[in-house]
Chain A
């Protein structure tokens, strides 16, 4: 089998893994090798689905002894199989890296023979890269559940980031769809990595040049929509993972029907992209905006409102806190205004030290007022000419994605063409938005 075919098969099998970040570690070159790593991460291209391609994301092999129902590479799936040799893959990585196609390698693998053997093959690849080529670029390695801890330790000394995928957000779903795996078998390597990370931190305090163990931390991923788990469960789980295992990222992946297993959604179900998007929005709120999971969802409202984003939803339910005065509001409160993000909030803080902020001034420094105008006052005044009507307000707050979603859900309605036809906000949208869940 030639390299082309191998690359095709093994990248095709790896593409459902969503993590492709190269962030979290800033490393200069040692002057005698190739490559460096930038803390912000660098995306080298974007595929036709708009996802960032930062790393060469491949499996070492797609041969697998497991039979997880949600996975393309399950044993029972009739699929061409291939495997890279460690040398082949290391050479390919270096040649791509030289041409600035990629930022490094994302190495995962199906389990061939047994977890330990698989892990050893991965280590061999990374050793060629790190020791022979003196490669200082980014490496993300998947921890193979069930592999010996000594092997995980060696893998972690070579990689920048490691991940163990949770895939299904509850034990019940795991039992149903991945009978070979259990919650503990997944959480064990995760616990091992976070334990080693903590130890390594102490070592680094004692000895400045102690070798670093996964300096960019660990991440995980969950599949959305393959099982009946609610957004509330998923968000709570991810917030617990951030706290307990100190994860750097939790990724969500809308389930792509890859199997006709009766336990899974039908093959023609579109992937729940909007739901995935809302979860990421909420994830950002947890990580950068000081929100807590229980502020966004609770047991009575376990799902996100598809029409408006989670922050807007929260704001509509806490109108007693708004409008806030941009001139005096603290940073934490500015962050809670729909439409104001970290960049805008920081700029507001800087600019208001120099003088009074008007709406024109806000616009000039790049604050987008479309949604924010309903939640702020500047210099004691509402925005000039802002006419608060239900229709106008909803039009500003409901995202285009939300509207598209609703129009897909409703039966097709026919209406006379009009020169000034603009989409009237329907009765149902108003109600859904005003009774905004949570």
Chain B
């Protein structure tokens, strides 16, 4: 492991940018105090060094990971980059340092602090992605389906293949409010693009009807004698309720999510 150095790496926030930081660390045989995006506020008084993104450096690191540590490590790093783990870049660097030293065995060392932290973050990302596969609600207008989500991690790259396979003939848009990104798809073409300020269209009459039908169904399907709000909440945390049709009721205060 390299000695710590009183320096903060700054990079442009891209995946290649991060790999360039890794390259820098290995080249200088040093571990920075922190790695942060250039536009993020400074946390320490240590001098900052901007690491310019270098495609060939990045490619070298990216190629070495599956070769020296294994495919699982590549996946772990890719996923960790999408999480909202504080100081994720530093954790990822430490993992890569340990990984290049120890080889493929590092991924089995579940009790190692760095591995444990990254895998936990990865699990959180996977769980959250699955939650959005479950709880995203689309609104249909004329020809487009649109949905708004408010995730903690960047889930769009993980849920995109699922929805693209599901609705190959539809056009749809999933707007990630937290990260200001949107997955946009129209038949045979998909892209994740930065979007700010997306406002959903007012629902038309057909849409209103299907929403109402769904609420009706949701309320009816519950068996009153088995009422168990705790169980419901542990499977479906309230964090997701905001954007779910069954809990967004048109102006009848006090009835929100009542379903009893």
Q: Which residues of A contact B (CB under 8 A)?
A: 3-4, 7-8, 11-12, 15-16, 28-29, 31-36, 38, 42-53, 56-57, 92, 95-96, 98-101, 254, 256, 270-271, 273, 347, 350-351, 353-355, 357-358, 360-361, 364-365
Of the candidates A32, A47, A99, A271, the one whose C-beta lies within 8 Å of that of B139 is A99
By CB atoms of chain B within 10 A, which of A8, A32, A358 has the most?
A: A8
Q: Which residues of B contact A (CB under 8 A)?
A: 105, 108-112, 116, 130, 133-140, 145, 147, 162, 165-170, 210, 212-214, 216-218, 220-232, 235-236, 244-246, 259-260
Of the candidates A7, A34, A45, the one whose C-beta lies within 8 Å of that of B246 is A45
Least Cβ–Cβ distance between A71 and chain B, in angstroms: 15
Of the candidates A16, A31, A355, the one whose C-beta lies within 8 Å of that of B111 is A355
Q: Given that A7-B217, A101-B245 are contacting pairs, would A46 and B165 also be in contact in the complex, using a CB cutoff of 8 Å?
A: no
- Which residues on the A side are within 8 Å of B227 (C-beta)? 48-49
Closest 8 pairs (CB-CB, A-B): A50-B231, A49-B226, A361-B111, A47-B222, A354-B109, A50-B228, A351-B110, A48-B222
Interface of B is mostly: helix
Least Cβ–Cβ distance between A247 and chain B, in angstroms: 24
- Which residues on the B side are within 8 Å of A15 (C-beta)? 220-223
- Which residues on the A side are within 8 Å of B217 (C-beta)? 7, 11, 56
Of the candidates B145, B169, B213, B259, the one whose C-beta lies within 8 Å of that of A4 is B213
Bound-complex Cα distance A32 to B110 (A): 44
Are B135 and A45 touching (Cβ within 8 A)?
A: yes
- Which residues on the A side are within 8 Å of B244 (C-beta)? 45
- Which residues on the B side are within 8 Å of A358 (C-beta)? 111
Of the candidates A28, A96, A254, the one whose C-beta lies within 8 Å of that of B210 is A96
Are A364 and B111 touching (Cβ within 8 A)?
A: yes
Bound-complex Cα distance A29 to B236 (A): 27
Q: Given that A32-B168, A357-B111 are contacting pairs, would A53 and B138 also be in contact in the complex, using a CB cutoff of 8 Å?
A: no
- Which residues on the A side are within 8 Å of B133 (C-beta)? 38, 42
Of the candidates B140, B232, B259, the one whose C-beta lies within 8 Å of that of A98 is B140
Least Cβ–Cβ distance between B55 and chain A, in angstroms: 34
Are A364 and B235 touching (Cβ within 8 A)?
A: no
Least Cβ–Cβ distance between B207 and chain A, in angstroms: 9
Least Cβ–Cβ distance between B139 and chain A, in angstroms: 7
Q: Given that A45-B246, A50-B232 are contacting pairs, would A4 and B108 also be in contact in the complex, using a CB cutoff of 8 Å?
A: no
Are A256 and B220 touching (Cβ within 8 A)?
A: no
Q: Given that A36-B166, A101-B214 are contacting pairs, would A49 and B222 also be in contact in the complex, using a CB cutoff of 8 Å?
A: yes
Q: Given that A56-B217, A99-B139, A351-B109 are contacting pairs, would A48 and B232 also be in contact in the complex, using a CB cutoff of 8 Å?
A: yes
